Copies of this chain bind each other. A is one copy, B any other.
Amino acid sequence: MTLKILVAQLNATVGDLVGNAERIRQSAHRAYAQGAQVVLTPELSLVGYPPEDLLLRPLFLKRAAQVLDELVVQTSQWPGLAVVVGHPRLLEGRLVNSATVARDGAVLACYGKLELPNYAVFDEQRYFVADGAPVVFESAGKRLGIAICEDVWFGRAAAMSKAEGAEALLVLNASPFHLNKQEERLAVARKHVSRHRIPTLFCNLVGGQDELVFDGDSFVLDAAGEVCARARRFVEDDITVNFSASGALVPGAVAEELSADAQAYEALVLGTRDYVLKNGFKGGIVGLSGGIDSALTLAIAADALGADQVTAVMMPSPFTAEISLEDAKACAQALGVKLSTVAIEPMMQAFTKSLEPTFGGPGQGLTQENLQSRIRGVLLMALSNETGRLVLTTGNKSEMAMGYCTLYGDMVGGYAVIKDLLKGGVYRLARLCNERAQAAGRPQPIPERTISRAPSAELRPDQTDQDSLPPYDELDDILARFVERGESIDDVLAAGHDRATVAKVLRLLRLSEYKRRQAAPGARISPRAFGRDWRFPITNRFETEKEMPQAS
C-alpha cells in the first residue's frame, strides 16, 4: 500500500475561525483530489497564531470548538482522508494546544503539545498546560505520530512517538521567521528527530500577524535526516509526500533557496501586506524624505500592496536639500506611486509665533527640530484620515535603538515596515530592489545618489546622522551582537569595539526605551526585535554603560 500526504502550508488569520476552517477544507479538497490519505495543517491552524489573550475568552474557545466540530463532520465528504487540524482544546478547565485528526466524520485521535515555549516572543505558559501523551494513528497501513512545533526542539516527543510505534512523524508548526531560522530548524530537527530514524513532515504557518512573520518553509526529512521536499517560502504552498509500497519516502520538489537579503525583503513585504489587508485597509501612505529609509519603505509598500494602493508625500522644509526633492520624485516615479508635496514652513511659522510669548523667543534647537518632525506627523495622519489609507512608518532599527527618532513625529504610523532592519540592511535591501528592477527591465526605484550620500534627518543646516550617532557599521555590529544575538558585553568588547562607543550605545539604548514603548508594530526579521521579545522596564536605574567591566 502506498501512502500520500499533503502538507498544507496555510496563511491563517488570528480569530478568523470561519475563514481558517474554509482554508483547511480547501486543503482537504486538494488532498482528496490528488488521492492523498492525510492532509497536515499548521499549529493552531483553526484560530491563527498567536491568538494571545483571545485564549482567555470563553466565547472564543466555545466558537473554536463549534467550528472544529463542524469540520470533523464535514470530513465525511472525503472518505478515508485524515485531516490534521491545530486548535486550542479545553479539558476540564485547562487549555491544551492540540492537534485533532478527523476522518470519515469522526475524531480519530487528539494530541496535546508537550513543550510550551515561554521565552522570546512566546507566552504559551500563560495559556496552556502541557500534555504530550503520544498519539499514533494508522493510515494506509502506516503508523503516524504527531508532534507540535516546540516539541521537536526537544527529544522527548519524538522518542515517545517512536516508542509507540510511529513510522513517520507529522509536526504542526507556527515557527516565526528570523534570519537564519531555517538552518536552526533543520539542525534541531536532525538532532532531535532524525536520530530516531523516523521520516518527519514539518508543516509551518505562513503569513504576517502583527509583529510576527511566518515564512512557511515547510519541509520533509527522510529517515536519514535528509531534506527530500521543501515548500516555497513566504507564500501558501502544498508539499505532496509519497511513501512507496515498501514504505520508502519518494523525493519531491525542493523549492529554491533565497539569499538572506531576499528572505528579509520578502518577510517585510509579506508582513506589511498582511498587516494592512488583514486589518481591513486597502492602501498605505509613506512620507518620503529623499533619504534611503523612506525610499526602501515605499518600494516594499508598492510590492506589498500594489503601486496604485500607495500614496507618497514629500513634506519639505527650508532645510530640505534640492537633491532630496529630486530623489524623492525619482523614487515615486520609478515605482509608479502618486506623490503629493506639502511644504511645512507655514506650520513652522505658525507654531513658532504662537509659542513665542510662552518661550520668550523662538525655542531651542531640539524643540525646533522636533517641531518639524511632528508637523510632518500631523500631515501624514491628516492624509490618512482623509483617504482611509494606513501610514507606514519609515524608521530603521539602528535609529529605533538609539532613540534617533521623534515621538509623534517620524514615528507616526500604524505599521513600521523596516523597524527590525539595521541601517546596513537598509542599504543591502535597497541595492537588492534596484537589482531586481534592473533584471525585470523596470526603472531602479532607489536613486544611486540616495544610496551614496551621507544620511541626514535634514532638521537643521548641514546635519548628518553621524553628528549624533557612531558610524553605522560600528553601531550595527554592536546592536547585532548585544540586542539581536544577546551577546554579553565582554563578548561585544572582545569583538574589538571601542569602549566609549559601546558605552554610548548602551546609554542611548536604555534612555530611549520610552520611545520604543509607543512605537508602531512592525515585522520581526531578526532573532530579537523591539517588540514582544524585548521586555525592558522604562524605569530602570541599571546603567549598564557604567557597570561595564573595566579595561584590563
Contacts and interface: CB of A to CB of B under 8 A. Distances in A.
Interface in A476-513: 486, 488-489
Contacts of A363: 382, 385-386
Contacts of A536: 52-54
A319 interface: no
A344 B342 CA distance: 20
A400 B543 CA distance: 33
A541 B489 contact: no
A138 B275 CA distance: 60
A539 B209 contact: yes
Interface stretch (A11-19, A83-91, A253-261): A11-19
Contact of A13 (B359, B488, B541): B541
Contact of A58 (B274, B278, B488): B488
Contacts of A52: 535-537
Interface string A511-531: 000100111110000000000
Copies of chain A in the complex: 2
A33 interface: no
Contacts of A57: 544
Contact of A541 (B50, B53, B278, B382): B278
Given A59-B547, A408-B377, A364 B347 contact: no
A547 B63 contact: yes
A518 B188 CA distance: 37
A346 B354 contact: yes
Nearest to A549: B59
Given A378-B351, A379-B351, A517-B521, A53 B535 contact: yes
Nearest to A536: B53
Contacts of A209: 537, 539
A488 B58 CA distance: 7
Nearest to A352: B382
A279 interface: yes
A60 interface: yes
Interface residues of A, number: 88
Interface in A120-138: 123, 125-126
Interface in A283-314: 313
A440 interface: no
Nearest to A13: B541
A1 interface: no
A235 interface: no
Given A350-B350, A382-B371, A539 B279 contact: yes
A418 to B, nearest CB: 18
Nearest to A518: B518
A550 interface: no
Interface centre among A57, A347, A378, A548 (most CB of B within 10 A): A378
Given A58-B488, A414-B514, A538-B210, A374 B378 contact: yes
Given A51-B537, A521-B517, A355 B379 contact: yes
Contacts of A208: 539
A174 to B, nearest CB: 13
A489 B57 CA distance: 9
Contacts of A412: 408
A504 to B, nearest CB: 17
Interface string A358-383: 11000110110011001101110111
A407 interface: yes
A57, A355, A385 — which one has the most chain B CB atoms within 10 A of its CB? A385
Nearest to A371: B382
A378 B383 CA distance: 17
A386 to B, nearest CB: 5
Contact of A349 (B119, B344, B350): B350
Contact of A382 (B13, B59, B355): B355
A343 interface: yes
Given A367-B386, A378-B374, A16 B541 contact: yes
B370 A385 contact: yes
A353 interface: yes
Contacts of A125: 118, 125
Contact of A535 (B60, B123, B313, B547): B123
A323 interface: no
Nearest to A377: B408
Given A354-B346, A381-B374, A521-B517, A59 B489 contact: yes
Contacts of A48: 541
Contacts of A385: 363-364, 366-367, 370
23 contacts: A19-B541, A50-B537, A51-B537, A53-B535, A53-B536, A54-B536, A60-B542, A118-B118, A118-B126, A125-B125, A126-B535, A346-B350, A346-B353, A349-B350, A351-B378, A363-B382, A374-B377, A375-B378, A377-B408, A378-B378, A378-B408, A408-B412, A517-B520
Given A14-B541, A57-B544, 11 more contacts: A15-B541, A52-B537, A53-B535, A60-B542, A208-B539, A278-B539, A344-B354, A346-B354, A355-B386, A363-B386, A517-B520
Q: Lowest 9 A-B CB distances belong to which pairs?
A: A15-B542, A16-B541, A367-B385, A350-B350, A15-B541, A408-B408, A346-B350, A15-B540, A374-B378
